């Protein structure tokens, strides 16, 4: 059976157009390649 | 390919950078994996497994944020699911990483070019947020109303459909909830939330059926498609049809007997009796002629009525003829009185009533010359003595200081006997005494002008000077 209150809590407000700028600015864009670069840079410094 | 360590260009086939000797095997593997996820997502998106595609694209971007294709596709999928802001965000970030030769340009410009559509989508988002707040506060009915509006503004807004379906399930309207969920399934076939709600609805339906609820219908409405086959029965002759036919014939015959046949007979007799039969063309000509005559007569009638009206106006506005009999009556009465008074002794004669009657007669209205002559004769006979009487009365009243009363008598005397200069003089004096200088001057001048030889002229001139000072 569906627990309506639990289901309702899963729904989050949708982003409005006025909030788009904040979303873009605060987006965490770190990816694996960034980590790899850091790793490679660390190795080079150690050598 | 660009070396992640030194940023120099290098061949895709090499495992190490020629410039900085960095081993880029893992780096290349990460990029390949990112592309692999992109390909996987594209395959899923083509069969509308959008939820699965989103997961794959997010993994692709977690590995390589510079994978523009992945980011653009992710934006497109978000847009398809009604998440406009998320879509725009992905395309803007994509453009940031790859400013030129990027499909995101086209997507952004397409969305921004239709401001009405963009405003409508934003309104849908705001209403969805409002509805979500209402639903969390327990106002399910209001939330449902708002969400119905949301799905009309943005027909692909998956989250709105899901929330609406959830609230409808809660309020017991499973049929509508299912309808909305099926719409969602057409947009995104693998959305786990949608599938879970649909499964719940199916379970609930099956449970009802097992409980023996006759109103419960199995999914798919199979009961509607199965029709029980009735046993074969040979058609019996329909007696009622025959009876109806007989009744119809009887009604038709009655209609002919009572309505049609008498009319035909009547027309026939009329045509036989008419000796002055004329063809329709001639009748029309006659009618036309009669109409013309009628029009002419109407016009004549209007003209005559107008003439009558004008004449009536002339009669109304014409001066009423004088009552000649009244004029002559006065003259006759005056004559009778004159003869009565003439027979009396001189001391007893009173011509004053006669003078009054005569003064009321207008000379100009007398048509008969004899009447005019009679009038003049009577005036000559009566006016001097009456004028003298009026003068005497006026003079006495003037002497006693009754100037107003004196004026009446003196004026009568002057009127009846215009040669009586004394009457004029004392009229002027009476006006002078009363302070009516204007009339006093008038009468003094009359004395001076009309009777220059009179003894009253000298005094009149003196008094005139006094008045004019």
Highest mean pLDDT among B190-194, B202-206, B313-317: B190-194
| Beta strands, E only, B92-161 | none
Residues B127 and B109 in one domain: no
* pLDDT, average across residues B235-258: 84
Highest mean pLDDT among B69-83, B409-423, B442-456: B69-83
Q: Residues of B with CB below 8 A from A17's CB? A: 84-85, 88, 118, 121-122, 125
User: Are the beta carbons of B453 and B422 closer than 8 angstroms?
Assistant: no
User: Are the beta carbons of B354 and B382 closer than 8 angstroms?
Assistant: yes
Confidence band, pLDDT 50/70/90 cuts, at residue B220: very low
Q: In angstroms, rounded to a whole number, what is the distance separating the alpha carbons of residues B411 and B446? A: 13
Q: Is residue B466 part of a domain?
A: no
Residues B317 and B376 in one domain: yes
Residues B78 and B102 in one domain: yes
Number of separate domains in chain B: 3
Residues B388 and B308 in one domain: yes
Residue B23 pairs with which residues in a beta bridge? B16
Residue B383 token pair: 């006016």
Q: Is residue B139 part of a domain?
A: yes
Contact check, Cβ <8 Å, A14/B85: yes
Residue B332 or residue B165, greater confidence: B165
Q: Is residue B341 part of a domain?
A: yes
Chain A nearest-CA residue for B34 = A32
Q: How far is CA B405 from the centre of its chain?
A: 75
Residue B384 token pair: 């001097």
Please report the pLDDT score of residue B84 as a whole number: 87
Give the number of residues written for chain A.
47
pLDDT digits (tens, 9 = 90+) for A6-39: 888 999 998 888 888 888 888 778 888 888 888 8
For residue B68, how many C-alpha atoms fall within 13 Å in the half-sphere facing its CB? 13
Residues B84 and B35 in one domain: yes
Please report the pLDDT score of residue B372 as a whole number: 83
3-state secondary structure string across B322-356 = CCHHHHHHHHHHHHHHHHHHHHCCCCCCCCHHHHH
Please report the pLDDT score of residue B224 as a whole number: 44
Write out the residue range of the structural domain in which residue B363 sits: 300-418
Among A15, A16, A31, the residue with its CB nearest the CB of B61 is A31
The sign of the torsion formed by the CA atoms of B406, B409, B412, B416 equals: negative
Residue B9 phi, psi (nearest 5): -70, 145
Among B62, B125, B162, the residue with its CB nearest the CB of A31 is B62
> CA B212 → CA B57, B209, B383, distances in Å?
48, 5, 140
Q: Is residue B38 part of a domain?
A: yes
pLDDT digits (tens, 9 = 90+) for B382-396: 888 888 888 999 999
* pLDDT, average across residues B154-182: 91
Q: In angstroms, rounded to a whole number, what is the distance separating the alpha carbons of residues B203 and B168? A: 16
Return the CATH number at B208: 1.25.40.10
Please report the pLDDT score of residue B323 as a whole number: 53
The residue to which tokens 């996987």 are assigned: B40
Please report the pLDDT score of residue B225 as a whole number: 46
Contact check, Cβ <8 Å, B62/A16: no
Residues B304 and B413 in one domain: yes
Please report the pLDDT score of residue B105 as a whole number: 92
Among A14, A24, A41, the residue with its CB nearest the CB of B128 is A14
Alpha helices (H) along B400-455: 403-416, 421-434, 437-450
Residues B39 and B73 in one domain: yes
């Amino acid at each position: 059976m569906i627990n309506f209150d639990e289901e309702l809590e899963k729904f989050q407000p949708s982003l409005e157009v006025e909030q788009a700028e904040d979303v873009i600015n605060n987006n965490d864009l770190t990816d694996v390649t960034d980590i790899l670069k850091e790793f490679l840079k660390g190795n080079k410094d150690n050598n | 390919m660009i070396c992640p360590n030194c940023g120099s260009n290098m061949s895709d086939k090499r495992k190490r950078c020629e410039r900085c000797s960095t081993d880029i095997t893992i780096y290349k593997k990460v990029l390949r994996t990112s592309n692999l996820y992109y390909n996987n997502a594209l395959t899923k998106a083509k069969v509308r497994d959008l939820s699965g595609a989103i997961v794959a694209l997010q993994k692709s971007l977690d590995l390589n944020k510079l994978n523009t294709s992945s980011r653009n596709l992710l934006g497109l999928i978000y847009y398809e699911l009604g998440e406009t802001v998320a879509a725009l965000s992905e395309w803007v970030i994509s453009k940031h990483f790859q400013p030129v030769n990027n499909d995101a340009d086209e997507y952004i410009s397409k969305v921004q070019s239709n401001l009405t559509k963009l405003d409508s989508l934003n309104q849908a988002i705001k209403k969805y947020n409002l509805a979500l707040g209402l639903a969390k506060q327990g106002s399910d009915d209001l939330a449902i109303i708002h969400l119905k509006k949301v799905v009309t503004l943005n027909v692909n807004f998956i989250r709105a459909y899901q929330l609406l379906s959830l609230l409808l399930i809660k309020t017991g309207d499973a049929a509508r909830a299912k309808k909305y969920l099926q719409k969602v399934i057409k947009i995104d076939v693998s959305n786990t939330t949608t599938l879970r709600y649909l499964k719940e609805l199916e379970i609930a339906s099956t449970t009802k059926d097992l409980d023996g609820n006759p109103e419960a219908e199995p999914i798919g409405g199979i009961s509607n498609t199965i029709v029980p086959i009735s046993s074969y029965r040979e058609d019996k002759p329909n007696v009622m049809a025959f009876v109806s036919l007989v009744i119809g014939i009887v009604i038709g015959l009655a209609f002919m007997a009572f309505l049609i046949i008498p009319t035909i007979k009547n027309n026939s007799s009329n045509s036989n009796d008419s000796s002055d039969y004329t063809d329709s063309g001639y009748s029309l000509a006659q009618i036309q002629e009669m109409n013309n005559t009628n029009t002419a007569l109407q016009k004549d009638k209007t003209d005559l009525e107008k003439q009558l009206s004008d004449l009536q106006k002339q009669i109304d506005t014409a001066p009423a003829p004088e009552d000649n009999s009244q004029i002559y009556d006065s003259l006759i009465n005056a004559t009778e009185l004159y003869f009565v008074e003439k027979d009396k002794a001189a001391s007893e004669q009173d011509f004053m009533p006669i003078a009054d009657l005569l003064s009321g007669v207008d000379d100009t209205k007398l048509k008969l010359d004899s009447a005019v002559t009679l009038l003049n004769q009577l005036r000559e006979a009566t006016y001097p003595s009456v004028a003298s009487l009026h003068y005497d009365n006026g003079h006495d009243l003037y002497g006693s200081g009754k100037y107003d009363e004196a004026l009446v008598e003196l004026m009568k005397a002057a009127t009846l006997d215009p040669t009586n200069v004394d009457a004029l003089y004392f009229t002027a004096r009476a006006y002078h005494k009363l302070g009516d200088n204007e009339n006093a001057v008038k009468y003094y001048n009359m004395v001076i002008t009309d009777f220059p030889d009179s003894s009253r002229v000298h005094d009149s001139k003196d008094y005139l000077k006094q008045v004019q000072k």
